[in-house]
Amino acid sequence: MKPQLKCKDLRCPVYVEDTDFQGVVYHANYLKYFERARSEFLKEHEISQTKALQANESFIVKKLDLEFYYPALLDDTLIVSSTAILTSKARMHFLHSARNTKNDTLIIKGVVEVCYFDGIKAKPKAFPKNLLALFG
């Protein structure tokens, strides 16, 4: 079994800016919620994306696989749950889901594959040692 780590859940209120004229969350905004969850995971473990960028390194999304179940609406609050699975020293999958806090309805789930990228060499590289250490 691949090493995995449950991430802290993230609360995401749905604001009018997140929705269309019918008050339904735009499909692309779920990717923003998932991105925030991954960013909070890194912050929680003191892994700086700013320092990575200064070193010409970055976390990049390689692949997405999403499944929508039910629409989220204006004034809903979503809980984004995530689990990070280390698949190699330079690649991990985040299993994400978002549920509505009003009724625990599953809104969306998906897998986001993330790589660590060397901007100078223009190719993947190993994640920072402090990130790899989280997986034992």
What residues are labeled active site?
A: 20
Phi, psi of 122 (to 5 degrees): 55, 50
CA-CA distances (angstroms) from residue 100 to 2, 14, 117? 29, 10, 34
Dihedral sign computed on CA atoms, order 23, 29, 30, 33: negative
Distance CA 118, CA 55 (A): 9
Shortest CA distance to 108 belongs to which of 85, 78, 63?
Answer: 78
